[in-house]
Amino acid sequence: MSNHVFIFDTTLRDGEQSPGYSMDLNEKLQMAEMLDGMGVDIIEAGFPAASKGDYESVYKVSQQVKSATVAGLCRALHKDIDAVVNAIRPAHRKRIHTFISTSPLHMKHKLQVEPERVLEMIKESVSYARQHCDEVEFSAEDATRSDHDFLCRAIETAINAGALVVNIPDTVGYTVPEEYGALIKMLRNRVPNIDKAIISTHCHNDLGLAVANSIAGVAAGARQIECTVNGIGERAGNASMEEIVMTFRTRADILPFDTGILAEKIMPASKLLTQITGFAVQPNKAIVGANAFAHESGIHQDGMLKNASTYEIMTPESVGRDKSDLVLGKHSGRNAFRTKLVTLGFDFDDEELNAAFERFKDYADRKKKVSDDDLIVIASSKDGLPKERIRFVSLGVKSGSYGPQEAELELEIDGEKKKAKANGKGPVDACFKAMRVLVRHDDAILSNYELKALTSGSDAKGEVNIKLSEHGHSYSGIGVDGDVIVASVRAYIDALNRLLAGRNVLPVKKAN
Ligand code: KIV
Ligand code: ZN
């Protein structure tokens, strides 16, 4: 048996089925181009019978894709199969993917059809699909909760009717690796014609086991994995393509399987998907999360500086990311601090370094983020950290649908209390205008403003992140408060204090 595992990507079908992740035609075409270019073997482009839009996108994806096989999903019904046949007609390589449930629960409550009738429907649909397309895949929906004897008969029927690929979905993400591996093994031992088909996995992530289950399936003899970029998909998602590909690469010693995926395209594909859908991946997501190659603790940073393999099992470059990130924060050590300062152009002796390190620790204790510009200010402030020149005192706003909105802001600036009033297009705009009256910073622009709720409910605390940019430098600020307008002002003050500290130290950079 070959060790090649086919990657069947269903980002555009199962992935798109997750709430809020729908993509328009243009976005699907962009994503399909990326998937084709990264070496995906089969792209499941949609479910043509589901809607006119789905039909259209499968058709257009079929016209565009150059290398991969294009698949369309359909129920075991002639009209659904016809829709796929027409939608994939322009593709160079095509596959009809038909499915029906085989678990007692689904047959009784969802299909309301007797098991014997399900077997007939499998035979009818697969042989009908084979009359129109050489490549037919059959999926036994809810296979992991199906009776084994019945599942064996369903798979045998599908292969006899002409299915070249038989998919064993863990539709509800219920199985565990040992059990799923045993299920694949059982099918290989008991289905008499199993050698005529490729076994496929399709695992959902409801218990966080989709990747582990898929890999157990391959170890037991499956040779196709159905997965999605960033693991998106129904409910908790599908098996994540990047995790599967990198598991095989990183643990080839015990999992000697290969895929045709160009791993350096993993990060670009992940980014494209987040841009298209507007959903970022969680920071600690394996392979593609913002923190997947970031190190803050001193011990880890020290190890990384000596030899990256101390704390990294793959290189960020191998998955198309920039180099590892040694994030300087309150857990960082002297070695990483010294290394960073050298890259920023400082040449300190031990005494200067120790003093700067103390200032840095003091600063990092109070701030969530320490940027390179903050480090330059810290390193340059040999007489102690710059004082926070501006402090929040009070704020009153007039807000609502009858504009203009007004703000009355009181700040303490260099120890002196000052007040200003301003109008704006909304209360936040009014506050930021009042800020500009109180502290002149005409060249600075607000280059980012983000607001998020830290908890749920109408009494949630709001966190605001902002960025001010001046003379080629960016200064971020964070503010948290039960009142989102006050949180906005606190974030602005945080950024403005950093800007004022940076102004005396940082060179003017031309914006590029
Ligand atoms: O999860 C599932 O069972 C599916 C099938 C349609 C393959 O998505
Ligand atoms: Zn699914």
**Across 41-45, 76-80, 454-458, least confident range:** 454-458
**In angstroms, what is the span from residue 171 Cα to ligand 1's centroid?**
6
Secondary-structure class of domain 6-277 per CATH = alpha beta
Q: Is the CB of 97 under 6 A from ligand 1?
A: no
Residue nearest (by alpha carbon) to ligand 1 atom 1:
171
Between the CA of residue 310 and those of 69, 303, 307, 408, what are the distances in Å? 40, 6, 6, 54
Q: Is residue 140 classed as helix, strand or coil in its secondary structure?
A: strand
Q: Is the CB of 141 under 6 A from ligand 1?
A: yes
- Tell me the C-alpha distance between 226 and 198, whole Å: 13
510 pLDDT band (50/70/90 cuts)?
Answer: low
**In angstroms, what is the span from residue 45 Cα to ligand 1's centroid?**
14
**In angstroms, what is the span from residue 206 Cα to ligand 1's centroid?**
14
Strand-by-strand arrangement of the 416-424 sheet = 390-398, 405-413, 416-424
Q: Where are the beta strands (DSSP E) in 308-376?
A: 325-326
> 360 pLDDT exceeds 90?
yes
Q: Atom of ligand 1 at shortest distance to CA of 238? A: 1
**In angstroms, what is the span from residue 326 Cα to ligand 1's centroid?**
41
Please give the CATH topology (third level) of the domain spanning 390-503: Double Stranded RNA Binding Domain (3.30.160)
Question: Which residue do the tokens 């998020």 mark?
Answer: 452
Question: Which residue do the tokens 């996108």 mark?
Answer: 57
Closest-approaching ligand to the CA atom of 97: 1
- For the entire predicted model, the pTM comes to 0.83
Per-residue tokens: 342: 């050298």
b/e 309-343 (16+ beta carbons within 10 angstroms → b)? eebbeeebeebbbeebbbbbbbebbbbbbbbbbee
Q: Is the CB of 202 under 6 A from ligand 1?
A: yes
Q: Is the CB of 171 under 6 A from ligand 1?
A: yes
Between the CA of residue 27 and those of 23, 24, 34, 272, what are the distances in Å? 6, 5, 11, 9
From the number of C-beta atoms within 10 Å of its C-beta (0-12, 13-18, 19+), residue 436 rates as: middle
For residues 15 and 270, the answer to whether their CB atoms sit within 8 Å is no
Per-residue tokens: 398: 């007039």
Residue nearest (by alpha carbon) to ligand 1 atom 7:
139
Mean pLDDT, the chain, as a whole number? 94
Domain residue extents for the chain? 6-277, 294-380, 390-503
Instruction: Read off the pLDDT of residues 83-115 as tens digits, 9 standing for 90 and up.
Output: 999 999 999 999 999 999 999 999 999 999 999
- The set of residues, in sequence order, having a beta carbon less than 8 Å from that of 209 and lying 6+ positions away, is 173, 175, 176, 177, 203
Instruction: Read off the pLDDT of residues 404-445 as tens digits, 9 standing for 90 and up.
Output: 899 999 999 999 999 999 999 999 999 999 999 999 999 999
For residues 72 and 46, the answer to whether their CB atoms sit within 8 Å is yes
**In angstroms, what is the span from residue 162 Cα to ligand 2's centroid?**
22
